[in-house]
């Protein structure tokens, strides 16, 4: 028999995590699907679970001079409606799932799930998002890209939980997100793309590209981006073939029931072009 704990406060959460061997359920929109059984019988959780969705302390979105802080149990819809949240992240959330799911699902859950097709991850990688991770006796901060270790693998100890998602404040001149799904809403991505650009004196100051669902991790290559810093606007717009070439070895999609690798690879290239056209 599986035990279910319902936490009312963050202290509750951390205490239970410290004493019990539990899986954390926030919105549950993926956990319930992953553990589905027949209708009419209990969800087939394989371990004890800790429900955290009632924890109020984790439901706030705040800011300071340099960062936005999104509490771990904020629903996607709550994030979508909050103007503090960078537009590109809200753009990506708007394309996630259906309104019903968005009212329940959380950003922390999408991160903890660590699916290569997780839609929010692309923008979070692009924005250099960090996580606040707490246990009963520690608080640590980790870059999202270091937190995700593989497909459904994350760097989280048994007694830890994600408490906040931290997004650095950066003013971009251009942000662009494109989810390529099999239909126009409520679908799992075939691939997704996010791009951002900041210019200074007509030269590239910061340029970023991130690709989702085309490798086991979100593809973001700092070393490629750094090569492009200092290039002027006109030149960068004409560099699509070169940039596509740089990313080619990192974009390694697969064939599956949703699409094929040829399509995924070519559309990634096309979206680099589209982004550069917008500069």
Partner 1 sequence: MRDISTSINKVDNDEKTSGKAIYVADIKLDNMLYAFTVRSKIAKGKIIKIDYPELPLGYYIVDYKDIPGKNIVKVIFDDMPIFTEGDITYLYEPIALLIGPDKAVLSKLFAEVKIEYKEEEPVFAWKDSVIHYHFDKGLGKSALEEGKIIEYVYQTGYQEQAYIEPQGFIGYLETDKTTLIGSIQCPYYVKNAVIQALGAKDDEVRVIQAAVGGAFGGKEEFPSLMACQLAVALKKIKQPIQLVYEREEDMLVTTKRHPSRINFKASIKDNKINGLSVHVGIDGGATIGLSGVVLSRALIACTGAYAIDNLDVSGDVYKTNTVPNGAFRGFGAPQMFFAIEMFVEHIAMELGLDPLEFSKSILAKQGDYTSTMGVFRDPVLMPEMIEKALEVSDYNNKKTMFKKQQNLKGVGMSLFFHGCGFTGSGEKNIIKAKVRLKKQFDKVEILIAAVDMGQGVKTTFRKLVAHILEIDIDKVIFNNPDTDFVPDSGPTVASRTMMIVGGLVARATKEVKDRWNEGSFVVEKQYEQPDYIKYDESNFKGDAYPAYSWGVNVVEVEVDRFTYQVKVNKTWAFYDIGKAIDERIVIGQADGGLAQGLAYGYLEVMNHDKGKIMQKNMTDYIIPTAMDMCSMETYLYENPYAYGPYGAKGVGELSLIGGAPAVAKAIENAIGKKVFKIPVTPEYIMELMKNGKD
> Could you say whether residue 194 binds partner 1 (CB under 8 A)?
no
> Could you say whether residue 4 binds partner 1 (CB under 8 A)?
no
> Could you say whether residue 186 binds partner 1 (CB under 8 A)?
yes
For helices 87-94 and 119-126, what crossing angle results, to 10°?
A: 170
Cα 237 from chain centroid (whole Å): 28
> Could you say whether residue 260 binds partner 1 (CB under 8 A)?
yes
Residue from 136, 188, 216, 231 binding partner 1 (CB under 8 A): 188
Query: Site residues for partner 1, window 160-179 (CB under 8 A)?
Result: 178
Spatial neighbors of 250 by CB under 8 A, at least 6 apart, are 211, 215, 219, 221
**Which is closer to partner 1, CB of 40 or CB of 238?**
40
> Could you say whether residue 34 binds partner 1 (CB under 8 A)?
no
**Which is closer to partner 1, CB of 86 or CB of 195?**
195
d(CA 219, CA 244): 13
Which tokens hold the place of 234? 């006109």
Spatial neighbors of 92 by CB under 8 A, at least 6 apart, are 119, 120, 122, 123, 177, 179, 192, 194
> Could you say whether residue 237 binds partner 1 (CB under 8 A)?
no
CA-derived radius of gyration, the chain: 19
Number of residues counted as binding partner 1 (CB under 8 A): 27
Q: Which stretch binds partner 1 (CB under 8 A): 84-92, 103-111, 142-150, 256-264?
A: 256-264
d(CA 81, CA 275): 26
Report the nearest approach of partner 1 to the CB of residue 34 (Å).
Answer: 12
Q: Which stretch binds partner 1 (CB under 8 A): 5-13, 68-76, 214-222, 253-261?
A: 253-261
H or E element that contains 150: strand 148-150
Residue from 12, 20, 225, 274 binding partner 1 (CB under 8 A): 274
With beta carbons less than 8 A apart as the criterion, state whether 58 and 163 touch. Answer: yes
> Could you say whether residue 56 binds partner 1 (CB under 8 A)?
no
* Terminal alpha carbon distance of the chain: 57
**Which is closer to partner 1, CB of 172 or CB of 193?**
193
d(CA 91, CA 95): 7
> Could you say whether residue 46 binds partner 1 (CB under 8 A)?
no
With beta carbons less than 8 A apart as the criterion, state whether 27 and 105 touch. Answer: yes
> Could you say whether residue 2 binds partner 1 (CB under 8 A)?
no
Q: Which stretch binds partner 1 (CB under 8 A): 5-13, 32-40, 55-63, 130-138?
A: 32-40
Spatial neighbors of 247 by CB under 8 A, at least 6 apart, are 209, 211, 219, 221, 224, 268, 272
Q: Which residues bind partner 1 (CB under 8 A)?
A: 37-42, 178, 180, 182-188, 257-260, 262-263, 266-267, 270-271, 273-274
């Amino acid at each position: 028999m599986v035990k279910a704990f319902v936490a009312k406060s963050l202290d509750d959460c951390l205490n239970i995590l410290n004493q019990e061997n539990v899986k954390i359920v926030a919105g549950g929109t993926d956990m319930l699907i992953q553990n589905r059984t027949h209708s009419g019988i209990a969800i087939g959780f394989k371990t004890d679970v800790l429900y955290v969705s009632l924890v109020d302390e984790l439901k706030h979105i705040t800011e300071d001079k340099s960062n936005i802080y999104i509490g771990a149990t904020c629903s996607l819809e709550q994030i979508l409606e909050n103007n503090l949240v960078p537009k590109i992240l809200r753009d990506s959330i708007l394309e996630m799932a259906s309104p019903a799911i968005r009212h329940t699902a959380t950003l922390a859950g999408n991160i903890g799930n660590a699916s290569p097709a997780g839609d929010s991850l692309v923008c979070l990688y692009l924005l250099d998002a960090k996580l606040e991770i707490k246990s009963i006796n520690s608080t640590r901060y980790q870059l999202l890209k270091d937190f995700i270790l593989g497909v459904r693998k994350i760097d989280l100890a048994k007694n830890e939980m994600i408490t906040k998602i931290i997004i650095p404040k950066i003013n971009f001149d251009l942000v662009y997100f494109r989810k390529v799904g099999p239909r126009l809403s409520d679908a799992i991505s075939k691939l997704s793309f996010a791009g951002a650009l900041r210019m200074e004196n007509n030269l590239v100051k910061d340029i970023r590209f991130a690709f989702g669902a085309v490798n086991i991790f979100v593809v973001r290559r700092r070393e490629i981006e750094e090569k492009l810093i200092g290039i002027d606007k006109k030149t960068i717009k004409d560099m699509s073939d070169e940039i596509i070439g740089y990313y080619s070895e990192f974009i390694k999609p697969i064939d599956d029931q949703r699409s094929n690798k040829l399509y995924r690879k070519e559309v990634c290239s096309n979206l680099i072009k589209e982004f550069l056209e917008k500069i």
